[in-house]
Structure 1
Amino acid sequence: MPVRDLLDGTSGTLESEAPAPPGASGHSRPPTPDLPPQSAPDDALVCIREEIREEYAEAHRKPWIVGFSGGKDSTLVAHLVVEHLISLPRSERRRAVHVVANDTLVESPLVMEHVRIGLAEIEKAARAFDLPVVVSTTAPEPNQTFWVNLIGRGYPSPNRSFRWCTDRMKIQPTSNYVREQANISGEVILLLGVRRNESATRAGVAARYDNGSRLNRHNDLQGCLVFRPILELDTDDVWEFLADNKPPWGGSHDRLIQLYRDAGGGECPVVTSTADAPSCGTTSSRFGCWTCTVVEKDKSLAGFVDSGFDQFMPLLEFRDWLVEIRNDPARRLARRRNGRVTITRKGVFVPGPFNMATRHEILDRLLALQAKSEMVLIAQSEIERIRELWVEDVIVSAERNAEAQRTVAFGGA
Structure 2
Amino acid sequence: MRIAAATDLFAADSGEAPWSDIRRAIADEYAASHALPWIVGFSGGKDSTLVAHLVFEHLLSLPRSARRRPVHIVANDTLVESPLVIAHIRAVQDEMRNAASAFDLPVTVATTAPDPEHTFWVNMIGRGYPSPNRTFRWCTDRMKIQPTSRYVRQQVDASGEVVLLLGVRRDESATRAGTVARYDNGERLNRHNDLQGCWVFRPIVELSTEDVWEFLGTENPPWGGSHARLIKLYRDAGGGECPVVTAKSDAPSCGTTSSRFGCWTCTVVDKDRSLAGFVEAGFGEFTPLLDFRDWLVSIRNDPERRLARRRDGRVLIAPNGVHVPGPFTLATRAEILTRLLALQERVGRQLIMPSEVDRIRALWAKDALDGAERSAAG
TM-score tier, shorter chain, comes to over 0.9
- How big is the shift at 1:91? 0.2
TM-score if structure 1 supplies the norm length? 0.87
1:150 aligns with 2:129: no
User: Please, which of 6, 9, 30 is the counterpart of residue 56 of structure 1?
Assistant: 30
1:33-182 to structure 2, matched below 5 A, reads 44-182=18-156
Structure 1 runs of 4+ aligned residues shifted over 3 Å read: none
1:221 aligns with 2:203: no
Q: What RMSD over aligned residues (CA atoms) do the two structures have, in Å?
A: 0.6
Q: Which amino acid aligns with 1:51?
A: A
2:182 match = 208
User: Please, which of 249, 262, 265 is the counterpart of residue 223 of structure 2?
Assistant: 249
Identity percentage of aligned residues: 72
Q: Which amino acid aligns with 2:328?
A: F
- Report the Cα distance in structure 2 between the residues aligned to 1:318 and 1:81, rounded to whole angstroms: 40
- Report the Cα distance in structure 2 between the residues aligned to 1:44 and 1:348, rounded to whole angstroms: 55
- Report the Cα distance in structure 2 between the residues aligned to 1:169 and 1:155, rounded to whole angstroms: 14
1:354 match = 328
2:370 match = 396
Q: Which amino acid aligns with 2:168?
A: V
- Report the Cα distance in structure 2 between the residues aligned to 1:43 and 1:178, rounded to whole angstroms: 31
User: Please, which of 303, 309, 317 is the counterpart of residue 329 of structure 1?
Assistant: 303
Change (3 A) 1:168 1:43: closer
Q: Which amino acid aligns with 1:333?
A: L
Tell me, what secondary structure is at the counterpart of 1:100? strand
1:58-115 Cα shifts (integer Å, max 9, x gaps): 1211000000000000000000000000000000000000000000000000000000
1:114-162 Cα shifts (integer Å, max 9, x gaps): 0000111111110011000000000000010000000000000000111
2:5 match = none
1:292 match = 266
1:268-283 to structure 2, matched below 5 A, reads 268-283=242-257
1:364 aligns with 2:338: yes
1:317 match = 291
1:195 match = 169
Tell me, what secondary structure is at the counterpart of 1:130? coil
Q: Which amino acid aligns with 2:132?
A: P
- How big is the shift at 1:275? 0.2
- Report the Cα distance in structure 1 between the residues aligned to 2:57 and 2:349, rounded to whole angstroms: 35
User: Please, which of 215, 227, 231 is the counterpart of residue 205 of structure 2?
Assistant: 231
Q: Which amino acid aligns with 2:281?
A: S
Q: Which amino acid aligns with 2:152?
A: V
- How big is the shift at 1:202? 1.2
Report which of the two structures shows the higher radius of gyration computed on alpha carbons.
1
- Report the Cα distance in structure 2 between the residues aligned to 1:222 and 1:261, rounded to whole angstroms: 38
User: Please, which of 226, 238, 255 is the counterpart of residue 264 of structure 1?
Assistant: 238
- Report the Cα distance in structure 2 between the residues aligned to 1:199 and 1:299, rounded to whole angstroms: 18
2:279 match = 305
- Report the Cα distance in structure 1 between the residues aligned to 2:103 and 2:263, rounded to whole angstroms: 34
- How big is the shift at 1:43? 5.2
Kept in 1: contact 2:17–2:211 (CA 8 A): no
Count of aligned pairs between the two proteins: 363
Q: Which amino acid aligns with 2:171?
A: N
- How big is the shift at 1:208? 1.5
- How big is the shift at 1:203? 1.1
Q: Which amino acid aligns with 2:85?
A: V
TM-score if structure 2 supplies the norm length? 0.95
Structure 1 gaps of 5+ residues are 1-41, 405-413
Tell me, what secondary structure is at the counterpart of 2:109? strand
